[in-house]
Every structure is written in structure tokens, then in C-alpha cells.
Structure 1
Amino acid sequence: MLNTMVHGVPGTQPPLVIVPGLFGSARNWGIIARRLSDDRQVIAVDMRNHGDSPWDDAHGYDDLAHDLLHLIDEYGGKADVMGHSMGGKAAMQLALTHGDRLNRLIVADIAPVAYDHSMTHLVDAMQGLDLTGVTLRSEADRRLAGEIADDGVRAFLLQSLDLKSTPPRWKLNLDVLRAEMDRITGWPDTPGHFDGPVLFVSGALSDYIRPEYHAAIKAQFPAAEFTRIEGAGHWLHAEQPREFEAVLHGFLSPTGVSSAS
């Protein structure tokens, strides 16, 4: 069973399941999850091989969707689902294979396509980090800066560094994430379609949801709407959290009114 952080109590609306992206965790989504839980229960998860969830040698989208299916069954059998990046692909896989378990779907800055980039260099940097004598996150950040120049990326990755462990350790199954990277950046070409309400949210500074991907999205998610958040890149929820939260609130409201276009 996936590790979860649960906010709020069951209400008249179905629960919202928040599915983080690669290297992310339920903890990353704590503030947004709490702010969305005023009228519903919000369940943020650690995906397998992340955070405090179980580790496994398999990390394909069929595996991730299966985990989410079991989670939703534990919370009444139907939910709204919001997935970012890897989590968005897992949520799309779930919608295409078990669409009856989803009410509304939000996909944050990812499309149902294979990408040609890799995050292996980040795995290399984390595995190569000398954690000897590290007791402060600031010291780990200083050491990691030699391999990762971007302050925001380092801060994001270091949220998964457990400094309370002896010795310190990453709460990521880095060996498996490296071995499964092609499946993570890829897409299994799952057939079928999900006819329910779907919102694709992109960062205006990101190129993960390109105009040429819209046809593939509409083929499998015919009710899909699209919206962009200005001033945000791929980590749109961290870069423009209030704007992102407002988009979610609008789309998930009982009337389904959103700023999508």
C-alpha cells in the first residue's frame, strides 16, 4: 500500500488523490493539499520507490496505475485524480484502464507521449553525493552544487534526503529509477479512451505539452481542456502555487467552472 498524507475529512465531493512526479513525494504537496481540503478529503501519495512507500524492481506505468487503483479502492472506489509529470502519466494510465474509478482528471505538465530526455544525470548526482559527515541540508546542498547548478532543482531533490537516518540516505530507490528510466520517460501506448472531464495544465515556460501533442491527447481524452500558467515551468505547482491552486479549485468545483481554454 502506498504511503499517504491525508488532509481534511470526507465531504460531499469525492476525494482528491494527488500523484507526484519523479523524485517527488506527498510532502512536496503538503501546502496545496491542505488548502484544497476545505470541502473534501485530499490524499497525497508517495509513489512506489519514493518516500515511505514500498520499493519494487518494477516501475512501469501499469505498475503505478495498479498501485493507484488499490489506493482509490481504499477510499471509496472513486476519486478525482491530479497527477504531475510521472504522476500525470500514471493517472492517465489509470484513466485509460479503469476509467470508472475516476470522476475528474487533472494532468499537470505532461502528455501521453514518449520523451527523449532523461533524468539519469540527476540520479548520477544523487548517487555520487558524498554524505560522509553530513548533518545539515545546507552542507548537502553545497556538495551537490558541483553537479547540479540549479538551486531549485537541488532544493527539490534534497527534500528526499533523510538526514535522521544513520548514515544519511536517499528516500528514493535510485538503482531501480535508473534501470526503469526509459519506461518512466516513455509511454506504453495504452489503447482506449477516457471520456470524463480532463484538464491539462502546463507551465507557460515549459515545453512538455507542445501544440503538436494535442491531437494525441484529444484522441484518448476527447473532453480534454487546456490551460497554461504564466511564469511557470515544469514544476508549476512550486513556481506558481497560488495560480495552480486556483486552477484546480475552479476545475474541481461542483459546477466544473475553470479558466481552461
Structure 2
Amino acid sequence: MIDLRNHGRSPHSEQHDYDAMVADVLELVDDLQIPTPAIMGHSMGGKVAMNYALKYPTRITKLIVVDIAPKAYPPHHDEIIDALQSVDLSTVTSRGEVDAQLAKGIKEDEVRLFLMKNLYRKDDNTFGWRMNLDAIEKNYEKVAAEITSEVPFKKHTLFIKGGRSRYIKPEDVYGSIEHLFTLVQVETIPDAGHWVHAEAPNEVYDLVTTFLNAE
């Protein structure tokens, strides 16, 4: 599992766009000596995966995109970024206190738990975020940008949509998705929202393994 730049334990950088993140993935694939991996990504990671497939179609076998379309999105993570930025990590002494502060702006328990996987203790026993929140916020428009390509990706592609999510609409499937990915199937998990893998991990696992095992 890949932590993209400015996420997890990966290096922080002021540059945070799809060209840079695709280059990071390709470098990792080369370092691991995996000539043609299957690649899956959710949300921003899904756009990285789409960009990788369109740019390097011979360096991938199958593509899986979770609850994101190739289109441009208006600002829609402001409440999550604001909630993360509002936590005063210099004063909290437990994960429970962080969760309580996040709950003021993020009501869904599973989303907060997912975001708090970024929380860690520093050497001085204070808390910190592993993600480079400032760089992500600064480059948000680049992350929300539309994906375009003159040549479509012609290998098997799976899009997984949360049934309660509005990120992929029917017109996206019949429009940009089928235009850019010619061998695509779209599956919906009815009771999941945007954070599909956190809300319905078993269903996502079943869809992914079935897709990867198919000829």
C-alpha cells in the first residue's frame, strides 16, 4: 500500500500535483521491480491511479478506482480540512481528545477514525499529523482538477461507487469515465458513502478480488 507524498511516512514536499505523484508511483514500481502492477486508488489516490494508467498504459495490468470520477470537482473537503486544522495538537493528551475536537466538524465516526490513522506521537510525547496538511490545503485546486487524455486507457478497469456518495453521477459514467476507460465496469455498494473502503471493507474486498482474479 502506497502512502503518496505528503501522506503517511512518505516525504513531505511543497509540490503536490498529479504529475509529481504519478512520477513517485512509477519510481516506486521500478524500485520494487514490479513491471506491470494492478493499481487501485480512492479519491485523490484514484485520480493518481487514473493519471498513471493513461500516462503509462504499458506499465499496468488492471486499474481500480474507488469513488471518484475524472472530472473537476468544486471545493468539497473544506469541512474536513478545517476540522483537521482546528485541532490544537499542542494541548491534547489523548486520541479521545483529538476525536472530540474533530467531532465538532466531522460527525461520521468511521471518517474520523479513518483520518486519525494519520495521528502519531512525537518524541516529546505530543501529537502530530503525519500528512502535510498545509501542502494539501495549498494545492487543493490541483488535486481537484479534471483528468484529460487524447488516448483512452484500453485495459480492464473497475470503478467502485458508494451508493450514498455523490462523487460519481450517472452522467459521469456515460461521459468522461467511458470516454477515458473503454473496458470499464462500474459497481455500486449501496450502503456506503465516499469512504467506501472504511465503511464497507468486506464488500470492497470481494469486488476487488473478483475483478483481479478474472481473466
Q: With structure 1 as the length reference, what TM-score do the two structures score?
A: 0.77
For structure 1, which segment, 208-217 or 92-101, has the greater mean C-alpha deviation from structure 2 after superposition?
Answer: 208-217
Q: How far does residue 237 in structure 1 lie from its aligned partner after superposition? A: 1.0
| Displacement after TM superposition at 1:164 (Å) | 4.1
More relative contact order, 1 or 2 (CA 8 Å, 6+ apart): 2
- Which residue in 1 is equivalent to 2:24? 67
1:51 and 2:8 are equivalent in the alignment: yes
- Could you say which residue in structure 1 is the equivalent of 2:137? 178
- The answer on whether the counterparts of 1:135 and 1:163 sit within 8 Å (CA) in structure 2 is no
Moved more, 102-111 or 228-237: 228-237
2:201 matched to which residue of 1?
Answer: 241
Q: Say whether the 8 Å CA contact 2:111–2:195 is kept in structure 1.
A: no
Cα distance in 2 for partners of 1:165, 1:113 equals 42
Specify every segment of 5 or more residues in structure 2 that has no aligned partner in the other structure, as ranges.
none
Task: Specify every segment of 5 or more residues in structure 1 that has no aligned partner in the other structure, as ranges.
Answer: 1-43, 257-261
In structure 2, how many angstroms separate the alpha carbons of the residues matched to 1:188 and 1:221? 12
Label 1:55 to 1:190 Cα distance change in 2 as closer, same or farther (>3 A): farther
Give distance in 1, aligned partners of 2:62 and 2:87.
40
**Paired residues, number:** 212
* Partners of 2:82 and 2:151 in 1: CA distance: 36
More helix by share: 2
Partner amino acid for 1:107? V
In structure 2, the residue matched to 1:230 is: 190
- Over 3 Å off, 4+ runs: none
8 Å CA contact 1:119, 1:181 repeated in 2: no
1:65-110 CA distances to partner (integer Å, 9 max, x unpaired)? 1111111112322100111111110000001111111001111111
Give the TM-score, by structure 2 length. 0.92
Give yes or no for contact 1:232–1:239 (8 Å, CA) kept in 2.
Answer: yes
Report the Cα offset of residue 190 of structure 1.
3.6
3-state SS of the aligned residue for 1:59?
Answer: coil
1:114-157 deviation line (CA, Å, top 9, x unaligned): 01133233222222211234232111112222233332222222
